[in-house]
Structure 1
Amino acid sequence: MSTALRSDRLAQRLKEEIDKLQQAGSLSIPQEPGGWWHQYVCPHHHTELAFDEKQVDASEFACPHGCIIEGEAYRGAWLVFKHQSLARVALQAAAVYAALGEASYAQLSKKLLVEYAEQFPLYPVHPEAQSWMLKGRAFHQALTEAIWSTTLIRAYLLLRDKGVVFDAKEQAAIDVFLGLLAESMEEYRHILIHERNNAENNYTAWLNASLSCVYAARGEQAALEALIEGQGGFKHHLSIGVKPDQFEFEGSTYYHVFVLRAYLIAAEMAQRFGIDLYAASGADGQSMRGMLEALAELADDQGALPALHDGPLSRAPYAREIAEIAEQGLAIYGIAGLAPVLREAYRQLGAAGGEQLEALLYGANDRAQVPAAARASRLWPDAGFVIGRVPGNPLSFLADFGEHGGSHGHYDKLHLTLMHPAQTLTPDFGMVPYGSPMRKSWFAETASHNTVSLDGLSQAPHEGRCVRYETAGDGKSVYAWLESTGAYEGSTMNRHLLLTGEWLLDWFQVELADEARSIEWWMHPAVQPFTGSLEERDEVYTLRIQEKDGSASVVAEQKLPIIGELVPDDGQMQLSYVLGDDSAVYHAALVESGDEVLAVHTPGDSVDPSQPLTAVLHRRSDRQADFIHVYRAGSRAELTRISAQEIEVSIPGQAGSAVRIQLTQDKGLIFI
């Protein structure tokens, strides 16, 4: 299909979407400012509430499970979605006009722009914003306002590019809007960069993006150049807000995408003055290309991005953001590995053919047909992530040992994500909207991740380290040795991950300096584990939520039902999991005297926490514990304990498959 034909087809689809909204009478801007979107979450099920862009107004808000929620906080959050939706319609109508030349869509875009410009001075600096927020006018947060403003100004610029003229009254309203917006964005940049000394904040990237749009709209090249070069500006933020290995400093995939999107908008504005930021780099080589390549490497085999630290597991607005940056990564940089990421984003949006605004604005003609090369193992030493991949083995792994991540971090050091082409088996389940109390009572806590906790308490905020990472010269294995000594006082945790062409070995060793404690190894499969035997248990697991300021005082407890005990056969637990296309993954573990292996009902993923999942909890009360587990796709592998530091991995019925592995103090796991 030619580029022109594809563009026309996309524009027609987008035109039909706009027509349906016009027919519903829903394209009138609210006179009220928006609140904080994170409060748009059911207080009972902790799922995000439904939003229908065809609604003109709303005072009742529906949960997917049938709850009807009322209240000012929910209405304020609904208004955020409504304002953002209308800004998107303004840009979409401008794009339809640019593609098809139908004047009515230019007039619609222009109408929305002028109405918002006239209303903006009437919105107060938000009196209901929370104390920690930088306050906006049209929203509680200046951050939300910055994002919203870039959509409106890009619509304005696109109309101007296509020869649309604004009369004197209309232009005067837009000039006032741009002036007020610039004043607040410049003020908040000063607060973040100079008063709070927090220039690396993801806020800063969006304040920069908003101001870049203002300066482009007003033709202020000198102001834009100063913004690019100055403290907290584009280049400085790229140097301090992104690690040298190209990952956003908080270690969150969501905020990585979030900041990258702001960078790309700033680069689009700079290009209008002949300034090329697409090739710009930070002090340690950070670049937008590098950030995009990191996402291509991190994605699972289906193209889904992992929900590392804070961020949604999946969410339609997030999928649109992913599509926006992936389209640009393919069109501008030709990064073939983004093709599956883009396809997955459009799949989540129900638009497998890419019939979205992002495709029209940014897409290259063959964007999703570019064949991606096979991906190898990868270590991000600064961000603290490692991925293991071996040719011929459908299993791969992702582990997290890096910095805590500040306010967006989780207590999850040495977390393991196990992936398969059919489905990621043990994902990080993401984060609910921040208005839900489950943000702190479950999703950030250690027990909700695939790592080790002690006594039901979460780890302290800390950073682990990668002691050893190596891939065999022939590509037949990859080994990562990760260590944590800061999770609990007097604890040393070592996770050894060895991936071969046949299986993945996970040897997690914990040593405590003082008294025995309950050492708890967690695994959270996304599907129900199958087992041949399950002994019922009438007890609960107690998750203890404590203050994270160094105090051990317990402020809350959560009870998780223990379904039963997974009884091992001759000291070896055997489980299996059926994934999306009927693929099977088999899981075996050595179970010693004194160990318990339990099935525990936990909240579901962050999309719908009310749908419980079944976790595997392997625990031991002692000063030392070895949790030795092995995974294999297609058929099972077996473990045999030879000695305290030596095991054998074998595949039943496969002659010559037995491999002996020793855990040594200096080299970690070695083949013997």
Structure 2
Amino acid sequence: MIQFTQQELINLREKGRKHPQMIAKIKEVVKEMMVQSAKVPRQGIANWSLYYYCPNCSVRLNFDWNEEHHHQCPSCGRVFTGEPYDSSWWGIVNSKNYTAAVHMGFIYLITGEEDYARKAIYMMTEYARYYRNYQIHGDIPYNGPGKSGAQTLDEANFLRSFAITYDLLSDCMTKEQREFVKHEMLLPGAEFLMEYRHSQLHNHEVVINSAVAIIGLIFGIDRYIQFAVYGPYGLLYQLEKGTSPDQMWFEGAFGYHFYALASFFAYEKFALHTPHSQINHPNYKVMMERLLDYLEPEFRIPMLNDTNYGHTSTSYYLYEFAYREFGGDKLLYVLNQLYERESRDNLEAFVYGADVLPQCTVDFDNYHVETGQPGCTVLRGKNGRYLLLKHDRYGGEHDHYDRLDISYLAYGKRISPDLGTTGYGAVLHYYYYKNTGSHNTVNIGEENQSPVLGKLARYEEIDGIIYVEAEADWTLPYEMPDSFTIRQWKEEHYRTVKMVRKIAWTEDYFAEVFLVKGVEGDLPVDWVMHFSGDLVSIPESTSIENFSDKKPYRHLNSMKKADFKHTPAESVVSVYDDGGVQTSVFSWSGGKEFYFGKGPDNPSVTEINYQIERTYGPEAVFAHVITSSRGSCLVKNVEFTWQAGGMRIDVEGSAETNIGMFTRVIHM
């Protein structure tokens, strides 16, 4: 066994005797698998599990072990048969099998209960029986092919899990079983992964490297270790080149920030007692600590880029191993918060966690990178007020086209959130969630922003107001990340454009001015924001049909256009109510067209309000004051004055504000 020393094994078994309730919880994970016959495909037919989504609702279908050919949507109730659902059902079966095998291996290791070992060994040997003849298949975007699954990433997760299981159970396997699994599955699998690993920075390559390296450690194959750890695009290369200066994984999504770290740590758990561990590399700890600067109120992870709810559900458990190895109050705080919400009886805590988690507190402050640098800015305030301004560099496949996007929360409500995404095989992933028009930023010509380097231009506090400015300048040279990317943007709409978003953050509201310069032709320039809850009040409007046929706007509905012909106004007010939290949006009309409607929220079976303000090139100025409250609005009136290339905003507070009625002048 590579992963644990003899003393560590003794400690785990003693811990299991002292805490039988934790063993019971781990057993519960595999209870279903233990009582039914193992299903192992005899051919390489398993498809991408992310095809297992309803094409109408973009939600995952209900998986049933006994329904290989019938797959029901939990939302609309429709039953799907045939492809790609039947083959993606097998992809889910594979995932459930190898995940259960690891748990069974740990149960045997800790308790000595041989039934769990026998079931896991049976699954391994059955897969090994067919593995060499599995067909190479798969045409998933951004991925190489697989054998057991439809992509190289699936193959790596499959092989790594069974390699871990092999290590856990090797002492109770016969010599024939060990040799069979080694030569019929693990070694040919590692060779396959080495052949199809791409030369790029990517979370996929981290997963693939970790699988190859673990197999190399188990069998003492130096060629595998050199390739997967030390070679170009190996683990060490990915760790150093894939970590941005702001300590985020370069893909810019917390889902993949932690997905990459999970595979780095999977390797490190094996390598700790070998000369090949990189556990003391400083990037590990700072990457784990970075979440604290971004955490939303209510202990939530921001849904940046290709992050979805499935990604974030298990991320916190990585802090068990990280805290044990690195220590520090920031990592400890995450665990403290996690176990205020649930019991500490998961596998990561039992096997890799520290024996004791002391209580600690962490002060949350605003966060920003240095001026002139790409990254994000996070502003915090009373009543759960939170604003994230995104001005980072484009990060490749799992990024969205949304520079200068904002996310806004207050009073426990995600009022103007980043929607993240859904399963990648679902229609709405590419046709809705990834696009500029479904984010709280500006798009030109109803097309996606092309890659650009954002940066923070200003951060300072004056008289209790925090001023933030961020820029995205497409006229400057830009270097794409060392990662394969499918072109899904309209570069010609943006190459002459510079955008600046200015925020003034106060105790009761925030003001913003969004400047756009250099638009060629007479293209529409759209400022987009979505707001949760019910639309309570908007200007007099007329319903319109077919607002746009382009993605993502084609998915909007109930669209209305404001009619200012009889009631011209420089300040337009719209009001939204979400469970008693009222958000008022004061907008500078400036001759723009105003549209109001609804579009898919996340999950897509619910809806969120859209407010779109449209003008036409070559320059555009959008200005707003946005405030949220329980009860009466904290702002009585707003006046906008555009003069000499700057915006003056006069904000008159209501009597309900903490300091009583006031008039504050903001120059932006």
Q: Deviations over 1:102-158 (max 9, x none)?
A: 3322332333233333332232223x5459642221011111110122222222223
The alpha-carbon deviation at position 433 of structure 1 amounts to: 2.3
8 A Cα contact 1:588 1:639, kept in partner: no
CA 391–358 in structure 1, closer or farther in 2 if over 3 Å, else same:
same
Residue of structure 2 in register with 1:150 after alignment: 160
Counterparts of residues 217-236 of structure 1 (less than 5 Å): 217-220=218-221, 223-224=224-225, 227-236=228-237
Distance, in Å, in 2 between the alignment partners of 1:594 and 1:503 is 24
Residue of structure 2 in register with 1:10 after alignment: 22
Q: One-letter code of the match for 1:235?
A: L
8 A Cα contact 1:512 1:623, kept in partner: yes
Q: One-letter code of the match for 1:438?
A: L
2:537 aligned with 1:531: yes
8 A Cα contact 2:29 2:100, kept in partner: no
Residue of structure 2 in register with 1:261 after alignment: 262
CA 640–339 in structure 1, closer or farther in 2 if over 3 Å, else same:
farther
The alpha-carbon deviation at position 561 of structure 1 amounts to: 3.8
The range that moved more, 438-447 or 536-545, is 536-545
Counterparts of residues 240-319 of structure 1 (less than 5 Å): 240-281=241-282, 287-312=283-308, 314-315=309-310, 318-319=311-312
Residue of structure 2 in register with 1:40 after alignment: 52
TM-score normalized by the length of structure 1: 0.84
2:587 aligned with 1:590: yes
Distance, in Å, in 1 between the alignment partners of 2:511 and 2:536 is 20
CA 185–458 in structure 1, closer or farther in 2 if over 3 Å, else same:
closer
Residue of structure 1 in register with 2:10 after alignment: none
8 A Cα contact 1:337 1:373, kept in partner: no
Residue of structure 1 in register with 2:320 after alignment: 327
2:626 aligned with 1:631: yes
CA 116–346 in structure 1, closer or farther in 2 if over 3 Å, else same:
farther
Q: One-letter code of the match for 2:598?
A: H
8 A Cα contact 1:572 1:591, kept in partner: yes
Residue of structure 2 in register with 1:660 after alignment: 665
Residue of structure 1 in register with 2:34 after alignment: 22
Counterparts of residues 419-498 of structure 1 (less than 5 Å): 419-420=409-410, 422-470=412-460, 476-486=464-474, 488-498=494-504
Q: One-letter code of the match for 1:166?
A: M
CA 59–481 in structure 1, closer or farther in 2 if over 3 Å, else same:
same
Distance, in Å, in 1 between the alignment partners of 2:241 and 2:292 is 22
The range that moved more, 172-181 or 484-493, is 484-493
2:127 aligned with 1:116: yes
Counterparts of residues 34-113 of structure 1 (less than 5 Å): 34-52=46-64, 55-56=65-66, 58-65=68-75, 66-113=77-124
Partner of 1:601: helix, strand, or coil? strand
Residue-pair matches, total: 622
8 A Cα contact 2:570 2:640, kept in partner: no
Q: Deviations over 1:450-488 (max 9, x none)?
A: 01123423323333332223356x9x5433211223262
Partner of 2:559: helix, strand, or coil? strand
Q: One-letter code of the match for 1:395?
A: R
8 A Cα contact 1:309 1:408, kept in partner: yes
% identical aligned pairs: 21
Q: Deviations over 1:265-313 (max 9, x none)?
A: 12112113154422114xxxxx11111112232221222222222232x
Residue of structure 2 in register with 1:284 after alignment: none
Which of 169, 179, 193 is the matching residue for 1:172?
Answer: 179
Residue of structure 2 in register with 1:358 after alignment: 348
2:423 aligned with 1:416: no
Partner of 1:122: helix, strand, or coil? coil
TM-score normalized by the length of structure 2: 0.84
Partner of 2:447: helix, strand, or coil? coil
CA 600–641 in structure 1, closer or farther in 2 if over 3 Å, else same:
same
2:526 aligned with 1:520: yes
Q: State the superposition RMSD in angstroms.
A: 3.3
2:612 aligned with 1:617: yes
Residue of structure 2 in register with 1:385 after alignment: 375
Q: Deviations over 1:177-214 (max 9, x none)?
A: 2211221122224xx23xxxx2x132221121001210
8 A Cα contact 1:36 1:141, kept in partner: yes
- Structure 1: unaligned runs, 5 residues or longer: 282-286, 547-555, 664-672
Partner of 1:389: helix, strand, or coil? strand
Partner of 1:409: helix, strand, or coil? coil
8 A Cα contact 1:453 1:519, kept in partner: yes
Distance, in Å, in 2 between the alignment partners of 1:587 and 1:69 is 43
2:58 aligned with 1:31: no
Distance, in Å, in 2 between the alignment partners of 1:295 and 1:600 is 34
Distance, in Å, in 1 between the alignment partners of 2:523 and 2:117 is 67
- Structure 2: unaligned runs, 5 residues or longer: 1-13, 475-492
The alpha-carbon deviation at position 369 of structure 1 amounts to: 5.5
Q: Deviations over 1:471-517 (max 9, x none)?
A: 56x9x543321122326244332100122333222211223455554
The alpha-carbon deviation at position 339 of structure 1 amounts to: 6.4
CA 111–296 in structure 1, closer or farther in 2 if over 3 Å, else same:
farther
Distance, in Å, in 2 between the alignment partners of 1:6 and 1:516 is 73
